[in-house]
Amino acid sequence: MCGIVAYSGRQQARGILLDGLRRLEYRGYDSSGIAILNSTPYLARAVGKVAELERRVAQDEPQGLVGIAHTRWATHGKPTELNAHPHTDCQRQIFLVHNGIIENYQALKNRLLAAGHQFRSETDTEVLVHLIENAYNGHLESAVQKALLEVQGTFGIAVVHAAHPAEVIVARRGSPIVLGISADASLAASDVSALAQHTTQVVYLEDNEIARLGPGEYSIKTLDNRAVSRSATALERVAGDLERGDFPHYMLKEIFEQPEAVENALRGRVNHSEGVAKLGGLESVLDRLSQARHLIIVSCGTSYYAGLFARYAFETLTDMTVETELASEFRYRKLNIRQNTVVLAISQSGETADTLAALREAKRKGALVLGLVNVVGSTIARETLAGVYSHAGMEVGVASTKSFTSQLTILLLMALLVGRSRDLSYEEGERILRGLEEVPGQIREILKLSDAVRELAARFCQASHFLYIGRKYQYPIALEGALKLKEVSYIHAEGYAAGEMKHGPIALIDPSFPTVALAPADGSFDKVVSNIQEILARSGPVIAITTVGNTRLASLVNHVIEVPHNVEILMPLLTVVPLQLFAYHCAVLRGCDVDKPRNLAKSVTVE
Q: Which of 2, 128, 252, 398: binder of ligand AGP (CB under 6 A)?
A: 398
CA angle (19, 217, 196) in 5-degree steps: 30
Nearer to ligand AGP, 65 or 398 (CB): 398
* CB-nearer residue toward ligand AGP: 490 or 525: 490
Q: Which of 355, 384, 390, 442 binds ligand AGP (CB under 6 A)?
A: 355
Q: How far apart (Å, rounded) are the C-alpha atoms in residues 288 and 78?
A: 49
d(CA 338, CA 357): 19
> Across the chain, which distance is largest between two alpha carbons, in Å?
80
Q: What is the DSSP secondary structure assignment for residue 274, as one 8-state letter?
A: T
Under the criterion CB under 6 A, does residue 392 sit at the interface with ligand AGP? Answer: no
State how far the Cα of 477 lies from the Cα of 452, in Å rounded to an integer: 21
Taking the C-alpha atoms of residue 518 and residue 542, their distance in angstroms, rounded to an integer, is 10
Whether 586 is a known active-site residue: answer: no
Burial class (CB in 10 A: 0-12, 13-18, 19+), 177: buried
- Stretch binding ligand AGP (CB under 6 A), from 358-366, 394-402, 491-499, 574-582: 394-402
Q: Residue 127: in which H helix or E strand, if any?
A: helix 126-135
Q: Any bridge partners for residue 495, and if so which?
A: 468
Cβ nearer to ligand AGP, comparing 352 with 405: 352
| Binding of residue 352 to ligand AGP (CB under 6 A) | yes
Q: Which of 341, 349, 515, 547 binds ligand AGP (CB under 6 A)?
A: 349
- Point out the catalytic residue in the list 2, 300, 461, 586: 2
Site string for ligand AGP, 265-304 (x = CB under 6 A): -----------------------------------xxxx-
Binder of ligand AGP out of 124, 133, 487, 595 (CB under 6 A): 487
Q: Which is nearer to ligand AGP, 424 or 479 (CB)?
A: 479
**Cα dihedral 43/44/47/51 (nearest 10):** -140
Does residue 399 belong to the site contacting ligand AGP (CB under 6 A)? yes
Scanning 144-152, 256-264, 363-371, 395-403 for contacts with ligand AGP by CB under 6 A, the matching segment is 395-403
User: Least distance from C-beta 22 to ligand AGP, angstroms?
Assistant: 19
Which of 377, 402, 401, 374 lies closest to 389 in space, CA to CA? 374
Q: Residue 153 and residue 136: Cα distance in Å, rounded?
A: 22
Q: Is 477 in the site for ligand AGP (CB under 6 A)?
A: no
Spot the catalytic one: 402, 484, 486, 602. Answer: 602
Write down the least CB distance from residue 535 to ligand AGP, Å: 27
Question: Which range binds ligand AGP by CB under 6 A, 71-79, 189-197, 342-350, 459-467?
Answer: 342-350
Question: Shortest approach of ligand AGP to residue 355 CB, angstroms?
Answer: 5
User: Per DSSP, what are the bridge partners of residue 6?
Assistant: 68, 188
Confirm or reject binding of residue 347 to ligand AGP (CB under 6 A): yes
Q: Which of 71, 264, 400, 546 binds ligand AGP (CB under 6 A)?
A: 400
Cα–Cα distances (Å) from 425 to 10, 306, 421, 533, 571, in that order, read 62, 25, 10, 38, 21
Q: In the complex with ligand AGP, which residue's Cβ is closer, 257 or 568?
A: 257
Nearest residue to the partner ligand AGP, using Cβ:
301
Cβ(263)–Cβ(390) under 8 Å? no
Distance CA 528, CA 534 (A): 10
600: left (phi > 0), else alpha (psi -120 to 50), else beta? beta
Closer to ligand AGP by CB, 574 or 604: give it. 604
Residues in contact with ligand AGP, counted by CB under 6 A, come to a total of 15
Q: Which residue in 298, 364, 27, 361 sits closest to 175, CA to CA?
A: 27
Map the footprint of ligand AGP across residues 496-555, applying CB under 6 A: none
Instruction: Output 108 or 485, the one with its CB closest to ligand AGP.
Output: 485
Amino acid at 281: G
For ligand AGP, the closer of residues 487 and 562 by Cβ is 487
The answer to whether the beta carbons of residues 407 and 346 sit under 8 Å apart is yes
Q: Which one, 398 or 532, has the nearer CB to ligand AGP?
A: 398
Asked about 300 being catalytic, the answer comes back as no
- Cα separation, 20 vs 4, in Å, equals 8
Structural contact between residues 309 and 477, judged by C-beta atoms closer than 8 angstroms: yes
Check whether the bond before 514 is cis (ω within 30° of 0): no
- Helix or strand holding residue 295 (H, E): strand 294-299
Q: Closer CB to ligand AGP, residue 7 or residue 475?
A: 475
Task: Rule CB under 6 A: say whether 328 interacts with ligand AGP.
Answer: no
193 binds ligand AGP (CB under 6 A): no
Least Cβ distance, residue 287 to ligand AGP (angstroms): 28
Closest distance of CB 602 from ligand AGP, Å: 6
* Selected binder of ligand AGP within 190, 348, 384, 405 (CB under 6 A): 348
Cβ atoms within 10 Å, residue 245: 9
Cα–Cα dist 5/7, whole Å: 7
Nearest to 144 by CA among 169, 126, 125: 169
- DSSP string across 95-109: EEEEES-BTTHHHHH
Question: Interhelix angle for 105-114 vs 126-135, to 10°?
Answer: 50
* Cα 142 to Cα 454: distance, rounded to the nearest angstrom: 58
CB atoms closer than 10 angstroms to residue 465 = 15
Q: Minimum distance between the CB of residue 110 and ligand AGP, rounded to whole angstroms? A: 33
**Smallest gap from residue 400 Cβ to ligand AGP (A):** 4
Q: Give whichever of 349 and 546 is closer to ligand AGP, judged by the CB atom.
A: 349
* Residues near ligand AGP (CB under 6 A): 300-303, 347-349, 352, 355, 398-400, 487, 603-604
Q: Which residues are catalytic?
A: 2, 602
